[in-house]
């Protein structure tokens, strides 16, 4: 088993560059942290390399490399990292198919993105489509917020207007979300097949996207509150359709 004990090792320096999106896109690889994420990535078949501090943590399948805690700290982006780092290939290109879809329009907070992906898996969404102007799906905080869910359902970067037109062509109704007008969620008939569009944290769904949807919906809340966090709102709506 290969061992690396220097943070200045060229291989380690190359991996450290994967903390930046432009280098991830060039290499088509990304880093993950923690035992649970490693387990989920192993089952997905995307895990190429594992960096560990102790042979007790050897993972069957990918290459295992023994490193120091200093190397782990150099590669990790969490404050108190577990002693294991994984290197994964990007997800392969996938078809947009299924019955339930979550479309994310310019989501900027990685925690919101990761939480929405996690909720999408929990409430049986088949495919999450993320707009090109949203936060990177391989962002470290987004990945950790998914708690491994990102390895268990389709997450695709795609232009939303084209996606909406495609979904309409196969009979999927598209719902946008806005607190200003529309249909209260509680009065909406539940459908097995649907697409839900969620928008930017401060601006909501863009006008051109909203106009392309079949119906606008909103969650009835206490009028003392202006709005819900997008990840909370999205989770409530996905639960409603799944219940």
Note whether residue 94 is domain-resident.
no
pLDDT of residue 50: 98
Same-domain status, 126 and 216 = yes
Residue 95 belongs to a domain: no
CATH number at residue 167: 3.40.1280.10
Percent of the chain with pLDDT over 70: 100
Each residue's pLDDT tens digit, 76-90: 999 999 999 999 999
Mean pLDDT value across the chain: 96
Asked if residue 67 belongs to a domain, the reply is yes
Both 141 and 218 in one domain: the answer is yes
Mark whether 45 and 9 lie in a shared domain: yes
Residues 122 and 81 in one domain: no
Q: Are residues 82 and 131 in the same domain?
A: no
**197 - beta bridge partners?**
103, 176
Tell me which residue range forms the domain holding 202: 100-242
Same domain membership, residue 111 and residue 58: no
Q: Residues 118, 172: one domain?
A: yes
Furthest CA-CA distance within the chain: 62
Sign of the alpha-carbon dihedral angle for 148, 152, 156, 162: negative
Within a domain: residue 71?
yes
Same domain as 17, residue 79 = yes
Instruction: Kindly state whether residues 104 and 217 are assigned to the same domain.
Output: yes
Axis crossing angle, helix 110-122 with helix 230-242, rounded to the nearest 10: 10
pLDDT in tens, 200-215: 999 999 999 999 999 9
pTM: 0.95
Residue 128 has pLDDT above 90, yes or no: yes
Whether residue 60 is predicted with pLDDT greater than 90 in this model: the reply is yes
Residues 206 and 228 in one domain: yes
CATH number of 55's domain: 3.30.1330.30
Q: What angle do CA 123, 24, 205 make, to 5 degrees?
A: 45
Residue 137 counted as domain residue: yes
Answer whether residue 180 shows pLDDT above 90: no
Mean pLDDT of the 99-122 span: 98
Lowest mean pLDDT among 9-13, 63-67, 78-82, 223-227: 223-227
Same domain for 29 and 138?
A: no
Tally of domains in the chain: 2
Residues 70 and 142 in one domain: no
Q: What is the pLDDT of residue 182?
A: 87
């Amino acid at each position: 088993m290969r061992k690396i004990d220097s943070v200045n090792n060229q291989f380690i320096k190359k991996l450290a560059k994967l903390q930046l999106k432009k280098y991830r896109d060039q290499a088509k690889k990304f880093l993950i942290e923690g035992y649970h994420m490693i387990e989920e990535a192993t089952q997905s078949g995307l895990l190429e390399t594992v960096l560990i501090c102790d042979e007790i943590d050897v993972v069957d399948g990918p290459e295992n490399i023994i490193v120091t805690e200093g190397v782990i700290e150099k590669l990790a982006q969490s404050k108190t990292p577990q002693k294991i780092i994984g290197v994964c290939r990007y997800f392969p290109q996938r078809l947009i198919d299924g019955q339930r879809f979550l479309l994310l329009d310019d989501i900027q907070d990685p925690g919101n993105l990761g939480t929405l992906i996690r909720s999408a898996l929990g409430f049986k969404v088949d495919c999450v489509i993320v707009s090109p102007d949203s936060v990177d799906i391989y962002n470290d905080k987004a990945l950790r917020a998914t708690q491994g869910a990102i390895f268990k359902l389709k997450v695709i970067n795609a232009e939303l207007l084209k996606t909406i037109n495609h979904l309409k062509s196969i009979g999927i109704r598209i719902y946008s979300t806005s607190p200003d007008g529309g249909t209260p969620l509680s009065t909406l008939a539940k459908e097995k097949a649907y697409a839900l569009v969620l928008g930017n944290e401060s601006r909501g769904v863009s006008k051109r996207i909203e106009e392309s949807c079949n119906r606008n919906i909103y969650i009835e809340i206490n009028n003392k509150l202006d709005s819900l966090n997008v990840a909370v709102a999205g989770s409530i709506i996905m639960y409603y359709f799944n219940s």
